[in-house]
Amino acid sequence: MASGCRDCSTCTKSGLGTLAQAIVVGVLYLCTLGIAYLAKRAVRRHCPQCGHVLSRHARRADGSFRD
């Protein structure tokens, strides 16, 4: 994964927030035996720069990404 991007709420999250999110997501993936991970990777669109889900990126009212 490349360096984070400034439009992504996951990349700009604090260290404690990132840790909490990683724990929750890890438990989710364990409980679903990885099916949630496979579904997320197959169905959702991801940012080419940071690799996170595009829905977590800030957008303007016209739909373009904020700079």
pLDDT by residue (tens digit) across 30-44? 999 989 989 988 999
Q: How many alpha carbons fall within 13 Å on the CB side of residue 7? A: 20
pLDDT reading at 22 higher than 90: yes
pTM of the complete model beyond 0.85: no
Residue 46: name the closest of 17, 12, 14, 5 by CA. Answer: 5
The pLDDT score that the predictor gives to residue 3 is: 63
The pLDDT score that the predictor gives to residue 1 is: 41
